[in-house]
């Protein structure tokens, strides 16, 4: 565990799986493509989940739970949807020792089962909007899997809302991608670009897909959350109509939106370094870890007496604090271990600190160590955690800016893609052009950012004038 | 929704499903045996979950997540386990468009997949104990299902712990059934009997199973949570050994324990009456609901101005409070609706109350209504909620005592079982005797209570002398 990880510069993919395993975030399971989320990794997901859940509820959403098993025929009701998901389905053919009359699929996403219920629940405009979220596991049969980033089974939340007007459903999809951006930036310290997906990249069954795209440490893009304006596609597929205020029957309008355990992967690759994880304080399971240093029973009890009130004060300040009391491990081993696990602040406390009423603070994101007065530390700890949180976001923003280039020729795009990073470019190409670029140099249009320059330029691919800029990059 | 439910006295089973549906707790889904947990029902589960999760963490447990799909061969490794679960399995035979080499089963419980991982993680006594819990969905193919009580897919938590000694694993299983009892009594206001299951009734793969058994409103028993001492059964099946402090290899000792969404069914049947749900304040999504009463816009704004600070004060006191602002519904309709949904306290506030600085309080569990001073109410609301919580537990304890009979003959047992309720009896019979009784009169031994009289008596069935008392009843 203390042996360190493959350096990022040597093999980023290997670095990533090393960190996931050595920080005990997840492990491979005996089931192909499925991972085990270990307690430390699950604690990250719990922190992500509880903040998001609060944000969903603050914006009027409620949670519910729908069956995981869906009749195969349901998936087929929306043409784009079945085309998109059919190749990825896990199919239950037997139950209770018998062959089933109709096979059931394990949900790859829940639009179809949920809209089959909305048909039952929605009659009038008075029943709208319906703002339901679900925390659940889903299964998509993936050929090439990577811990957290792409696994056959993963955990996620999926919001499914029903509205009386297109505008309202549209606004909801827009609001939720904004909520995801706020969460990514303020909690995960992960800057994201917000925008629309192209036709090629949108969700199977959506009219429009919005996305947040983050830049990982290897300068590749990671799609970190999406929200979809579904129009009346699923309402039509499941015949869900409502009586509007003018007593007319109309199909219901819909949105859906989700983020998944992939966010844990995003967290690792946004901040991690060659010593392991670096966690933003707001998401870290432990914000402060205390490593006591002692030689014998006497100095141990002295150090522990000194630590006790510090721990209490930190707890009273709402700081998640852990004292590492493992007896068989050396302080040096513990230092490395908590660096691997990305704890924002580590306190080292030995007999000399006790005598001087001081302590040693190690700040993980900067790798800086200093000796400070105990009272000054405890009085300012929450401010220090805030500073770390903000500095981490700032650092990642600077990193992204540094690795984003405005390009105006196909050659420049290829050079940027080879070097890594985001290319920002005017774009007026077709879906076929986009596919051709992807095949030639592996870059895809990550998004059409909501924020546009408003000026006109020349499409780097077609040479036509356009006002639309896009972001291109290699992506996970 | 306001039409009321089938009276309990007429048809208790119908009453139950009426309440589940009219209180909007759950709904039937298009998938056989699977239910949809609606937002109000899910809010109950969330409250149950968050309290239990806190209690688990306070006792040193951590959460993790294991794959839902388990190789079929794993289930077969523990002989009793496979025998118990084989008839209930849902089997995935195809994934990603191809037939799988080995079928995967959807977890009916996770002992096997978890112990296959514990083999990887446990090497030495230093790795023990491992105290892991999982919140998850499971699937058991059930022939006869009932909303919340028995569904093909259900939500639950399953604790799986690994220990260096039998005593420790034993203590853990004992501790956790005690935790469940505390939760049932103090949060759900549901008294339970705690004890051991007989050989016939224990978990498939356990050495011993402990249970909490509650008496429902129709006097039948409901097994509401179980914990198992598994000995070395799963360690042996998955070859999980550890080096003990004497440098010897030894098989690991295990416990597992779980409660499920069945607890929502328990809540309904423990407290509900012919007007619907009655919720204990500690679990209720809303503890207080305010129904404003007004005739015109002027009186409405007057009433709303009066309600605003009351709502704020309740919120500041930590009370979950909701103001029912639905415009198209009459106050009378709302009263019935919130009675159906079991909200502990309902406030009715109209212009006359505003004038007199009063309000009308309706207490759901007692069905009592009184006019009180606003200030007296807000000052005492948390105390009142505590009183309701305690009164509800007391009432159910009295109900159980009233319907529990010491019996000393088979005839008396039959009479008691026909009348409903628990029979307490000395018991020295065999597994075969137990089966014979079950076939003859549908009663099963619910548990061998931990609390025993310590006196000797005569087994009502065999006529032999014994010190062991058991509880017999018809059960869900």
> In Å, how far are A348, A394, A452, B137 from A403, measured between CA atoms?
37, 14, 19, 43
Strands, E assignment, B16-57: 26-28, 35-37
Please give the average per-residue pLDDT across A438-463, as a whole number.
96
Please provide residue B164's backbone torsions phi and psi, each rounded to the nearest 5 degrees: -85, -20
Residue A4 pLDDT: 82
Are B66 and A95 within 8 A, CB to CB? Answer: no
Picking from B67, B93, B155, the nearest residue to A29 by CB comes out as: B67
Q: Which residues pair with A258 in a beta bridge?
A: A158, A226
> In Å, how far are A125, A173, A253, B410 from A249, measured between CA atoms?
10, 24, 13, 64
Which residues 148-167 of chain B have a CB within 8 Å of chain A? 152-153, 155
Cα gap B476→B464, rounded to integer Å: 30
Residue B42 pLDDT: 98
Residue A121 pLDDT: 97
Per-residue model confidence as pLDDT tens digits over A369-388: 999 999 999 999 999 999 99
> Is the Cβ–Cβ distance between B170 and B137 less than 8 Å?
no
Distance, in angstroms, between B155 CA and closest chain A CA? 9
**pLDDT(B3) > 80:** no
Per-residue model confidence as pLDDT tens digits over B70-80: 999 999 998 88
Q: Which residues of A touch B155 (CB under 8 A)?
A: 65
Tell me if chain A has a CB within 8 Å of the CB of B4.
no
Are B68 and A137 within 8 A, CB to CB? Answer: yes
Residue B87 tokens read as 């008839």
Please state the separation of Cα B114 from the chain's center in Å.
24
> B73-82: buried (b, 16+ CB within 10 Å) or exposed (e) per residue?
ebbebbeebb
Strands, E assignment, A48-146: 62-63, 69-71, 90-95, 98-106, 130-139
Residue A317 tokens read as 């300040």
Residue A69 tokens read as 């098993």
Cα gap A75→A103, rounded to integer Å: 12
Query: In this structure, is the dihedral angle defined by the CA atoms of residues B240, B244, B249 and B250, taken in order, positive or negative?
Result: negative
- Count of Cβ atoms closer than 10 Å to residue A327 Cβ: 6
* Among chain B residues, CA nearest to A125: B328
* Among chain A residues, CA nearest to B94: A91
Please give the average per-residue pLDDT across A450-469, as a whole number.
97
> In Å, how far are A428, B25, B270 from B265, measured between CA atoms?
58, 10, 8
> Is the Cβ–Cβ distance between B113 and A29 less than 8 Å?
yes
Cα gap B183→B207, rounded to integer Å: 25
> Is the Cβ–Cβ distance between B182 and B435 less than 8 Å?
no
Please state the separation of Cα A352 from the chain's center in Å.
43
Show the DSSP H helices in B238-321 as ranges: 262-271, 297-316
Residue B266 pLDDT: 98
Cα gap B137→A67, rounded to integer Å: 10
Distance, in angstroms, between A202 CA and closest chain B CA? 21
Cα gap B25→B37, rounded to integer Å: 6
Are B35 and A67 within 8 A, CB to CB? Answer: yes
ipTM: 0.97
Are B94 and A94 within 8 A, CB to CB? Answer: no
Among B30, B32, B31, B38, smallest CA distance to B1 is for B38
Please provide residue B391's backbone torsions phi and psi, each rounded to the nearest 5 degrees: -60, -40
Cα gap B56→B71, rounded to integer Å: 29
Which of these ranges, A201-205, A307-311, B180-184, B403-407, has the smallest mean pLDDT?
A201-205
Cα gap A58→B211, rounded to integer Å: 39
Return the biggest CA–CA distance within chain B: 83
> Is the Cβ–Cβ distance between B210 and B224 less than 8 Å?
no
> In Å, how far are A112, A113, B338 from B39, measured between CA atoms?
18, 16, 15
Per-residue model confidence as pLDDT tens digits over A5-36: 999 999 999 999 999 999 999 999 999 899 99
**pLDDT(A1) > 60:** no
Q: Which residues of B touch A31 (CB under 8 A)?
A: 67, 69-71, 104, 113
Tell me if chain B has a CB within 8 Å of the CB of A125.
no
Please give the average per-residue pLDDT across B455-471, as a whole number.
97
Cα gap A334→A323, rounded to integer Å: 11
Instruction: Tell me B167's DSSP state.
Output: H
In the Cβ-directed half-sphere of A388, how many Cα atoms lie within 13 Å? 29
Q: Which residues pair with B132 in a beta bridge?
A: B62, B160
Instruction: Tell me A167's DSSP state.
Output: H
Picking from B37, B87, B92, the nearest residue to A92 by CB comes out as: B92
Please give the average per-residue pLDDT across A100-111, as a whole number.
96
A397: which residues sit within 8 A by CB, 6+ positions away?
A191
Residue B276 pLDDT: 98
Average pLDDT, chain A: 96
Cα gap A95→B105, rounded to integer Å: 10
A395: which residues sit within 8 A by CB, 6+ positions away?
A365
Per-residue model confidence as pLDDT tens digits over B280-318: 999 999 999 999 999 999 999 999 999 999 999 999 999
In chain B, % of residues over pLDDT 70:
99
Among A221, A201, A122, A197, smallest CA distance to A164 is for A122
Distance, in angstroms, between A254 CA and closest chain B CA? 18
Distance, in angstroms, between A88 CA and closest chain B CA? 5
Please give the average per-residue pLDDT across B81-98, as a whole number.
93
Q: Which residues pair with B212 in a beta bridge?
A: B194, B225
Picking from A31, A45, A67, the nearest residue to B31 by CB comes out as: A67
SS3 state of residue B428:
coil
> In Å, how far are A33, A91, A133 from B98, measured between CA atoms?
15, 10, 32
A248: which residues sit within 8 A by CB, 6+ positions away?
none
Which domains does chain A show, CATH number per domain? 12-271 (3.30.930.10), 288-384 (3.40.50.800), 404-473 (3.30.110.30)
Q: Which residues of B touch A139 (CB under 8 A)?
A: 68-69
Q: Which residues of A touch B65 (CB under 8 A)?
A: 36-37, 42, 45, 155
| Tokens 């014998």 sit on residue | A296
**pLDDT(A157) > 90:** yes
| Tokens 């909490």 sit on residue | B212
Picking from A94, A136, A141, the nearest residue to B96 by CB comes out as: A141
Cα gap A178→A180, rounded to integer Å: 5
Please give the average per-residue pLDDT across A411-429, as a whole number.
97
Cα gap B320→B284, rounded to integer Å: 8
Cα gap B381→B320, rounded to integer Å: 11
Distance, in angstroms, between B62 CA and closest chain A CA? 6
Residue B28 tokens read as 């039937």
Residue B78 pLDDT: 87
Picking from A91, A117, A136, the nearest residue to B94 by CB comes out as: A91
**pLDDT(A292) > 60:** yes
A297: which residues sit within 8 A by CB, 6+ positions away?
none
Picking from B36, B64, B92, the nearest residue to A38 by CB comes out as: B64
Average pLDDT, chain B: 96
Residue B2 pLDDT: 46
**pLDDT(B1) > 80:** no
Residue A470 pLDDT: 98
Strands, E assignment, A356-412: 358-363, 368-373, 404-406
**pLDDT(B102) > 90:** yes
Residue B154 tokens read as 């259900």
- Count of Cβ atoms closer than 10 Å to residue A391 Cβ: 15
**pLDDT(B5) > 70:** yes
> Is the Cβ–Cβ distance between B297 and B213 less than 8 Å?
no
Cα gap A67→B35, rounded to integer Å: 6
Please give the average per-residue pLDDT across A179-191, as a whole number.
98
Residue A143 pLDDT: 86
Per-residue model confidence as pLDDT tens digits over A243-281: 999 999 999 999 999 999 999 999 999 999 999 999 999
Instruction: Tell me B200's DSSP state.
Output: G
Show the DSSP H helices in B69-216 as ranges: 72-75, 79-85, 111-121, 166-186
Picking from B66, B68, B95, the nearest residue to A141 by CB comes out as: B95
Cα gap A172→A165, rounded to integer Å: 11
Among B64, B63, B62, B89, smallest CA distance to B74 is for B89
Are A86 and B74 within 8 A, CB to CB? Answer: no
Per-residue pLDDT band at A352 (split at 50, 70, 90): very high
Residue B220 pLDDT: 98
Strands, E assignment, A34-129: 35-37, 62-63, 69-71, 90-95, 98-106
Which residues 11-40 of chain B have a CB within 8 Å of chain A? 27, 29-31, 34-39
Per-residue model confidence as pLDDT tens digits over B366-392: 999 999 999 999 999 999 999 999 999
Are A153 and B93 within 8 A, CB to CB? Answer: no
Q: Which residues of B touch A144 (CB under 8 A)?
A: none
Cα gap A168→A172, rounded to integer Å: 6
Please give the average per-residue pLDDT across B327-344, as a whole number.
96
Q: Which residues of B touch A93 (CB under 8 A)?
A: 91-94
A141: which residues sit within 8 A by CB, 6+ positions away?
A33, A87, A88, A89, A90, A152, B95, B96, B97
Are A96 and B29 within 8 A, CB to CB? Answer: no
Q: Which residues pair with B131 in a beta bridge?
A: B161
Are A95 and B89 within 8 A, CB to CB? Answer: yes
Q: What is the pTM of this model?
A: 0.97
Radius of gyration for the alpha carbons in chain B, expressed in angstroms and rounded: 25
Tell me if chain A has a CB within 8 Å of the CB of B419.
no
Per-residue pLDDT band at A460 (split at 50, 70, 90): very high
Please give the average per-residue pLDDT across A47-63, as a whole number.
98
């Amino acid at each position: 565990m203390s042996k360190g990880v493959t350096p990022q510069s040597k093999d980023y993919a290997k670095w990533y799986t090393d960190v996931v395993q050595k920080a005990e975030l997840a492990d491979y399971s005996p089931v192909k493509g499925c991972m085990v989320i270990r307690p430390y990794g699950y604690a990250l997901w719990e922190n992500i989940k509880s903040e998001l859940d609060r944000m969903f509820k603050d914006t009027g959403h409620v949670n519910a739970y729908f069956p995981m098993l869906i009749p195969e025929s349901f998936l087929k009701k929306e043409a784009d949807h079945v085309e998109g998901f059919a190749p990825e389905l896990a199919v239950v053919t037997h139950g209770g020792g018998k062959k089933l009359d109709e096979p059931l699929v394990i949900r790859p996403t829940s639009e179809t089962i949920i809209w089959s219920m909305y048909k039952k629940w929605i009659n009038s405009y008075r029943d709208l909007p319906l703002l339901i979220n679900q925390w659940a596991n889903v299964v998509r049969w993936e050929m090439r899997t990577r811990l957290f980033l792409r696994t056959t089974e993963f955990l996620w939340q999926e919001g499914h809302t029903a509205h009386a007007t297109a505008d309202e459903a549209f606004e909801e999809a827009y609001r939720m991608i904004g909520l995801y951006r706020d969460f990514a930036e303020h909690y995960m310290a992960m800057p994201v670009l917000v925008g629309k997906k192209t036709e090629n990249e949108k969700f199977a069954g959506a009219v429009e897909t919005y996305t947040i795209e983050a830049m990982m440490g290897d300068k590749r893009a990671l799609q970190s959350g999406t929200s979809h304006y579904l129009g009346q596609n699923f309402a039509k597929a499941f015949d869900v109509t409502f009586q509007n205020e003018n007593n007319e029957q109309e199909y219901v309008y819909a949105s859906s939106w989700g983020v998944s355990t992939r966010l844990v992967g995003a967290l690792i690759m946004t901040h991690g370094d060659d010593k392991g994880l670096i966690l933003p304080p707001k998401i870290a399971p432990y914000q402060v870890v205390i490593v006591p240093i002692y030689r014998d029973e006497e100095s141990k009890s002295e150090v522990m007496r000194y630590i006790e009130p510090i721990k209490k004060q930190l707890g009273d300040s709402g700081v998640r604090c852990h004292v590492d009391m493992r007896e068989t491990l050396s302080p040096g081993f513990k230092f490395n271990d908590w660096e691997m696990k990305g704890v924002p602040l580590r306190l080292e406390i030995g007999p000399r600190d006790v005598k001087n009423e001081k302590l040693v603070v190690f700040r993980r994101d900067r790798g800086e160590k200093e000796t400070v007065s105990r009272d000054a530390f405890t009085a300012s700890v929450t401010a220090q955690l805030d500073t770390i949180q903000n500095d981490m976001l700032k650092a990642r923003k600077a990193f992204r800016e540094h690795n984003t280039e405005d390009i105006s020729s196909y050659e420049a795009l290829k050079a940027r893609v080879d070097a890594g990073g985001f290319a920002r470019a005017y774009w007026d190409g077709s879906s076929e052009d986009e596919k051709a670029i992807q095949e030639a140099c592996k870059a895809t249009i990550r998004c059409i950012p909501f924020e546009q320059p408003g000026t006109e330029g020349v499409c780097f691919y077609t040479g036509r004038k356009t006002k639309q800029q896009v972001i291109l990059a290699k992506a996970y």
